[in-house]
Copies of this chain bind each other. A is one copy, B any other.
Amino acid sequence: MTAASAPGKVILFGEHAVVSGFPALGGAIDLRARAKVLDCPGKLLIETEGLFVSGFSLDLLSGQVLCRQASHAARYVSAVLREFDASDLSIRIESSIPPASGLGSSAAITVACLAAVSRHLGHDLPAKEVAALSHRIEKTVQNGLGSPMDTALATFGGYLRVCRQVEPLALPPLQMVVGDTGKPHDTRQQVAGVQALKERYPDLVNPIFQAIGAISSRAAGLIEEQNLSELGALMNANHGLLEALGVGSRELSELVYAARNSGALGAKITGAGGGGCMIALPGPGNGKALIAAMRQARGRAFPAVAGCEGVRMEADT
């Protein structure tokens, strides 16, 4: 038996602008995907029981697909297995990361699975290779789309600055609240929409990207200094800029204002927008009030710490 886990992530600042080379800042969060590998002679079994939404078993050989969500996870696992030409294994995936919400669920599953399978097969991949290979696998499964930030954060943990290259940052952890609208979002569609807006109105979108880049550049210093009130103000500004790019939604906006109006220092969309999640920065001692207000605004809300550990091998449990 070999087991590994890897974290989900939030983009703190810089969504969409990063596609055009402006800096973005992301952090690994304390929600994790776990992969457990066992020998299973004559079979290749992928179990995804315990996934956030619902659980079941899927036997690839029998071709049964019982749940779209788990089938989605199984695609990444299958791609990892193909990478190693692996067989005679049982892979069990568990994850507490809401899928398809921009929290890096598929990257965490891919990285955890890759780490567990490679170790189980006796390979000793350096972290850098885990990140690179996982990124390649994600891109293959997602038909060419895949942020290097997701797989890098799932691998290295902590914080990353992305600006063409990916650069780790040593910053203290940050207590946040994540609000999930429960509305599916399509990253590809949102990214394409913003890029189309940029084609059409470069005089509008370029300065918006520039403003987002200015926020991302300031953010790391504020986390370093634990200047949360300024960090919150910049989250609010970044949220407006994402709204300006057309990736807001009524549900996201309701969660953002629910958080702000119950004492959040700042709140913004995280990820591609159009649905999915937002994040809020609680003020001193008001995390629970935020969560209550965000649930009242019909969101799934939970605390999350940004800046957590990356992929790690796990003991059997």
**A250 on the B face (CB < 8 A):** yes
Interface string of A40-59 (1 = CB under 8 A from B): 00000000000000000000
Closest to A250 in B: B257
User: CA A207 – CA B234 in complex, angstroms?
Assistant: 14
**A248 on the B face (CB < 8 A):** yes
Given A207-B208, A207-B214, A211-B208: A244 and B253 interface contact (C-beta under 8 Å): no
User: CA A214 – CA B244 in complex, angstroms?
Assistant: 13
In the complex, identify which listed stretch (A23-31, A135-143, A235-243) lies at the interface while the others stay far away.
A235-243
**A203 on the B face (CB < 8 A):** yes
Given A214-B204, A250-B257, A261-B250: A240 and B240 interface contact (C-beta under 8 Å): yes
Interface residue ranges of A196-235 to B (CB < 8 Å): 197, 201, 203-205, 207-208, 210-211, 214-215, 217-218, 233-234
Specify which of B237, B246, B253 is in contact with A236 (CB 8 Å cutoff): B246
Query: What chain B residues lie within 8 Å of A249 (beta carbons)?
Result: 257
Q: What is the distance, in angstroms, from A126's C-beta to the closest C-beta of chain B?
A: 38
Q: What is the distance, in angstroms, from A264's C-beta to the closest C-beta of chain B?
A: 12
**A117 on the B face (CB < 8 A):** no
How many residues of A are counted as interface, with CB atoms below 8 angstroms from the partner's CB atoms? 35
**A70 on the B face (CB < 8 A):** no
Q: What is the distance, in angstroms, from A170's C-beta to the closest C-beta of chain B?
A: 24
**A6 on the B face (CB < 8 A):** no
User: CA A233 – CA B243 in complex, angstroms?
Assistant: 12
User: CA A236 – CA B258 in complex, angstroms?
Assistant: 21
User: CA A239 – CA B244 in complex, angstroms?
Assistant: 7
Query: What chain B residues lie within 8 Å of A214 (beta carbons)?
Result: 201, 203-204, 207
Q: Does B204 lie within 8 Å of A207, measured CB to CB?
A: no
Query: What chain B residues lie within 8 Å of A245 (beta carbons)?
Result: 237, 240
Q: Does B250 lie within 8 Å of A244, measured CB to CB?
A: no
User: CA A266 – CA B80 in complex, angstroms?
Assistant: 45
Q: Does B204 lie within 8 Å of A215, measured CB to CB?
A: yes
Q: What is the distance, in angstroms, from A53's C-beta to the closest C-beta of chain B?
A: 26
User: CA A233 – CA B208 in complex, angstroms?
Assistant: 15
For the complex of A and B, 5 pairs with smallest distance between CB atoms: A240-B244, A240-B243, A250-B257, A207-B207, A203-B214
What are 30 A-B pairs with beta-carbon distances under 8 A? A197-B237, A201-B214, A201-B237, A203-B217, A203-B218, A204-B211, A204-B215, A204-B218, A204-B234, A205-B211, A207-B208, A207-B211, A208-B208, A208-B211, A211-B211, A211-B244, A236-B244, A236-B246, A238-B244, A239-B244, A240-B242, A240-B244, A241-B241, A241-B244, A244-B244, A249-B257, A250-B260, A250-B261, A253-B253, A253-B254
